[in-house]
Amino acid sequence: MFDSIVTHIRKHAGLTDAEADILTSLLTVRDVKKKEHLLEAGKVCTEYYFVAEGCFRMYLVTAKGAEQVIQFGIEDWWINDYASYKTGLPSGYCIQAVEKAKVIVLDKKNEEEMFTRLPQMERYFRRVAEKAYSAQLNRIHYIFNLSGEEQYHLMNSRHPQFVQRVPQYMLASFLGITPEFLSKLRAKK
């Protein structure tokens, strides 16, 4: 089960077989049911999740009670509320399985031991954070500069796995459009 994370890390940072054994001794695997939450708003995020199988969504509940999808996570992606994880403050977000899934979990209490024993992991996580930050900046740019239709077509061309994989209402929430409008866009093909 740890093959996917070891392979992923080796793409970004050196990791010998002995170091991989150290790393995997600090990780756990968790099966997650469809619609099960890894994190609920108001709770502190104490784990970092590597998606080994499945799809997740991170969302918040607006003042009007609507669920607003902030991001998705699929295989070989990390997902957590980084701010809550680092500060120990309650999260304003929920992380929920869109489908039956499996995650590899790095618990906060094991993080420092991992960095001490495997210093190259700090470089790896820096690269993960840089990539996530860049993706969020791009998303903000698209929200302010592209119509919902343009965002949909961009997402469909760059990440077709989401367009086909996630329920229409979640994709519409992520794009900031109604499910009905998304249905019309899909029908236009």
pTM above threshold 0.85: yes
Phi, psi of 27 (to 5 degrees): -115, 160
Residue 40 maps to a domain: yes
| Domain membership of residue 14 as a residue range | 3-118
Residue 124 maps to a domain: no
pLDDT in tens, 50-103: 999 999 999 999 999 999 999 999 999 999 999 999 999 999 999 999 999 999
Check pLDDT > 90 for residue 162.
Answer: no
Q: What's at 105, amino acid-wise?
A: V
| pLDDT at position 45 | 97
Q: Measured between alpha carbons, how far is 8 from 124 in angstroms, rounded to an integer?
A: 10
| pLDDT at position 189 | 63
Residue 79 maps to a domain: yes
pLDDT in tens, 95-104: 999 999 999 9
Helix (H) or strand (E) holding 97: strand 94-97
pLDDT band at 161 (very low <50, low <70, confident <90, very high): confident
Residue 39 maps to a domain: yes
Q: Measured between alpha carbons, how far is 56 from 72 in angstroms, rounded to an integer?
A: 6
Q: Measured between alpha carbons, how far is 69 from 56 in angstroms, rounded to an integer?
A: 10
More confident residue, 163 or 41: 41
Q: CATH code at 91?
A: 2.60.120.10
Residue 12 maps to a domain: yes
CA neighbor of 50 nearest in space, from 13, 28, 77:
77
Residue 65 maps to a domain: yes
Residue 187 maps to a domain: no
Work out how many domains the chain is built from and give that number. Answer: 1
DSSP H helices, 11-119, are: 17-25, 82-87, 108-117
Sign (positive/negative) of CA torsion 132, 136, 142, 147? Answer: positive
pLDDT in tens, 109-138: 999 999 999 999 999 999 999 999 999 999
Using an 8 Å Cβ cutoff, are 88 and 127 in contact? no
Residue 138 maps to a domain: no
